[in-house]
Chain A
Amino acid sequence: NAGVTQTPKFQVLKTGQSMTLQCAQDMNHNSMYWYRQDPGMGLRLIYYSASEGTTDKGEVPNGYNVSRLNKREFSLRLESAAPSQTSVYFCASSAVGNTEAFFGQGTRLTVV
């Protein structure tokens, strides 16, 4: 049982380049999330999708776009990467209601 799978695990981008972080879950969860984690800042919510076909901004959405491709997949796109987007990105998913979220293994992104 894979759970939540993120690709890639590591990525180095140059300033201005674009890329898409992929996330897929096989737990039939309705809700999916993208977080970034920076030293001393904890986990900050970028975007979330309560259900297939819906997306909402979190605490730090600027510079990012998301797509809920289907129930399994939720991607995060950086259109023009900036050094301030250097971070560890986590995708997570949860079932309907007030249930816990399960995390992927993370993507370590460096923008130079």
Chain B
Amino acid sequence: QKEVEQNSGPLSVPEGAIASLNCTYSDRGSQSFFWYRQYSGKSPELIMSIYSNGDKEDGRFTAQLNKASQYVSLLIRDSQPSDSATYLCAVRGNSGYALNFGKGTSLLVTP
């Protein structure tokens, strides 16, 4: 089984701070990496995708990938209470088809 690991949290940060979410994966041949946000009772929605080593920025969100360390992270700058949700890390393995998810990290942004 291709494993994707995340700390379950909850991760609590004050409004305006930077939230840092981390994910490790076991399949060294993994090719693509995604971060999804899921509000309680809702379906996952895509925030970021990243395919190559380094950083990718989109607004307040930055995804970071280090394939050598098998590590992917998501930074949320200027965190807002509306960012409070569960963040899911997803990894597409070497086969290119199955998309495997971590168990998610719960983020709470306090006013």
Contacts and interface: CB of A to CB of B under 8 A. Distances in A.
Interface of A: 31, 33, 35, 40-45, 48, 50, 56, 58-59, 90, 92, 94, 97-106
Contact of B99 (A41, A97, A101): A101
Contacts of A44: 101
Given A98-B32, A100-B46, A104-B43, A45 B97 contact: no
Interface residues of B, number: 24
Contacts of B49: 99-100
Contacts, number: 56
B45 interface: yes
Interface of B: 1, 8, 31-32, 34, 42-46, 49, 51, 88, 90, 92, 96-104
A44 B8 CA distance: 16
B34 A42 contact: no
Given A45-B98, A92-B99, 15 more contacts: A33-B98, A33-B99, A35-B101, A40-B103, A42-B88, A43-B44, A44-B101, A45-B100, A59-B100, A98-B31, A98-B32, A98-B92, A101-B34, A102-B46, A105-B42
A97 B99 CA distance: 11
Contact of A42 (B31, B98, B104): B104
Contacts of A59: 1, 100
B43 A105 contact: yes
Contacts of B90: 101
B43 A98 contact: no
A102 B45 CA distance: 7
Contacts of A43: 44, 88, 101
Contacts of B34: 100-101
B36 to A, nearest CB: 8
A103 B96 contact: no
Nearest to B32: A98
